[in-house]
Chains A and B, each alone.
Chain A
Amino acid sequence: MTTIQHELADRHVERKRAWSNWATGMLFLLPSLLLFGVFLFYPMVRTVYLSLFLTDSQGVPIVFVGWENFLNLFQSTSFQISAKATALFVLYTVPAGIVLATALAILANQKLRGIGLFRTMFSATMGMSVAASSVIWMFLFNPSIGLFNRILAALNIPGVQWLLDPQYALLSVSIATIWMNTGFAFLILLGGLQNIDQSLYESARIAGVSESYKLRKITLPMLSPTLFFVTTVSLINAFQTFGQIDLLTKGGPMESTNVIVYSIYKDAFINYNVGSASAQAVLLFVAVLVVTVLQFKIGERKVHYQ
């Protein structure tokens, strides 16, 4: 055979091998791709589609209405309240939760005897389900026998209708939520702290700088990738909150805790207004997308990667 024939034969073999690799790779990926397709990408597209229709109570699209669902939403006070509640909820829970988890992680990162016990205590809420936690907090918030009002009573302060007063309900749910989310954030931040190169602290010790200087100049900068990740996850989680609302307040009182996912749930499965629910779902998707993109844009510039 000539060289060219040889090369053609080689190419043929290589093509066959490349094809077989492709088939193998796809075979390994197919289960995941299939499920993502059926239970994530398709429903996302379907949600966008449904958001442009009026539907019957089964969610079958009937009339194409274009942007009408969205326009109706923006004009409805109910949605405005819901959007505001969501924004406030994010604002109440995310920064406070991260500060708390970071403080706990720094506390638990000391080298002391029995520190393992405290780490376990701080991460305990990670093992708590939303439902169980909510039931416990429901009891703590109970106006007559709950712990909080008992403490207030002991201090001679009149009791508060924590979950029933529109003024306090969202705040109360937020406090419970911060507690629920601490375990997860704590675990990750502690991991981040433990990944920091100890020699940085040793050289700082030799230089004789103060603790707060170490915190500002070593710990926080080196922890920033972890903080960045935790912030992103917390933000997205906050947007998706459902369980505690369903159990503690059912979106009330006076819709003051009707955050977006609960509002979607109510519209879709209680009011059977699938078009409106889908429009809200699209807005939720956009919000999460914006947060993620913003985070990455800001993050890439600010975060100090190791």
Chain B
Amino acid sequence: MRKVELKGITKSYDGKQDVLKAIDVMVEPGEFFVLVGPSGCGKSTMLRMIAGLESITSGELALDGKRANALSPSERDLSMVFQNYALYPHLTVEQNITFGLHVKKVSKREQKERCKEVCEMLGLTDYMKRKPRELSGGQRQRVALARAVVTQAPLCLMDEPLSNLDAKLRAKMRSEIRQLQRKLGLTMIYVTHDQTEAMTMADRMMILSDGDVQQIGRPLDVYNNPANTFVASFIGSPPMNLIDAEMKDSVLVADGHWMTPVTAAMKQKIGSGRVTLGVRPEHISLAKDSEPGFLVQVANVEVLGTETLVTFDFGEATQWIAKWPGQSSVQPGEQIRICVDDRHLALFSAEKGERIVCEPVPDAKKVSS
């Protein structure tokens, strides 16, 4: 187990533009920490700086409380799994797994034993004499994992290790990696662009965009309380529905005629002018007869078996998605009356997209048209 601490870490490749901007984060020992964000936001860069493959422009990196900025990769006592697995094509699975162990002064006999052990753990025992090109994608992935595990380094870094696998295998490996990490008590820093992986695997996650930390927290906290519109639309599938709204008297008006009341306290926080209003798809339901609701036109319906995604036109240029449990019989083109659970409304400032309030909107009157 290993504690990793980043203090004001900044990276610039060209000396002009900062790819990472003053990152502060602490990864606790034994934690499964996921770094998630869209492609090009700097995830790999951050991971590679922790690994020592990339120099740190400014700030401090501490491993177990000790400054590690200038340590070489091998001095940091960590293992790493690469997106393309980085298996040596000319070596067998066994040789791949034990390659480099001699540097750590592991005797030949122990190398064999350790290799056998991890191969059993990962179901590779039958493939130890094969070359990487004679393996399937999933098996290669396991060899890469085995190579990381066999070093017994307390910190493991993974850079999009599952992105070359098909969806089904990916789901399986997610759970395997998680179990392995728990069993070995590894501190894990895991990079992915896939929010599902982040949500399902992380103890805590960090959402990165354009080199800036957007939010750090446990998956559910992030999901329920996104810090800004970026996180709101990045985490969750389908993402949170967003629309611009305006304060008029004591009601929020979206797109001219959709309204919702707010409390005085909220009103004060919002101030006057514009906000962005957000609601998760699962908080939009078909209005019961007694409930106030609004009429919308259905644009598309995706029935997934256990749930149904309904896309409908909301306002002039916006489409929202609602997620309902079960199999709905709603048809495209149909007019339906929907109801938004306003206890789960999220409000963001219009300029910066930052979350304004987290407390629920009062239950006085439902949103109505």
Contacts and interface: CB of A to CB of B under 8 A. Distances in A.
Contacts, number: 13
Nearest to B56: A10
B217 to A, nearest CB: 29
Which 7 residue pairs spanning A and B have beta carbons closest together? A13-B70, A10-B70, A10-B69, A6-B67, A14-B70, A17-B72, A9-B70
Interface in B67-91: 67, 69-70, 72
Nearest to B71: A13
Contacts of B67: 6, 10
Contacts of B70: 9-10, 13-14, 17
B55 interface: yes
Interface residues of B, number: 6
Given A6-B67, A10-B70, A13-B70, 10 more contacts: A3-B60, A6-B60, A6-B69, A9-B70, A10-B67, A10-B69, A14-B55, A14-B70, A17-B70, A17-B72
Contacts of B69: 6, 10
Interface in A1-31: 3, 6, 9-10, 13-14, 17
Interface of B: 55, 60, 67, 69-70, 72
For the side of the interface on A, what is the size category?
under 10
Contacts of A9: 70
A247 to B, nearest CB: 46
A15 to B, nearest CB: 10
Nearest to B58: A7
A3 B69 CA distance: 12
Interface of A: 3, 6, 9-10, 13-14, 17
A231 B70 CA distance: 51
Contacts of B55: 14
B331 to A, nearest CB: 41
13 contacts: A3-B60, A6-B60, A6-B67, A6-B69, A9-B70, A10-B67, A10-B69, A10-B70, A13-B70, A14-B55, A14-B70, A17-B70, A17-B72
Contacts of A17: 70, 72
B14 to A, nearest CB: 18
A195 B356 CA distance: 59
A77 B107 CA distance: 78
B67 to A, nearest CB: 6
A10 B61 CA distance: 12
Nearest to B55: A14
B281 to A, nearest CB: 42
Nearest to A14: B70
B112 to A, nearest CB: 32
Nearest to A9: B70
B137 to A, nearest CB: 27
Nearest to A12: B70
Interface centre among B55, B69, B70, B72 (most CB of A within 10 A): B70
Nearest to B67: A6
Contacts of A10: 67, 69-70
Nearest to A15: B70
Contacts of A6: 60, 67, 69
A66 B252 CA distance: 93
Interface centre among A10, A13, A14 (most CB of B within 10 A): A10
A154 B60 CA distance: 91
Nearest to A1: B67
A13 B69 CA distance: 10
A6 B69 CA distance: 9
A14 B70 CA distance: 7
Contacts of B60: 3, 6
A23 to B, nearest CB: 16
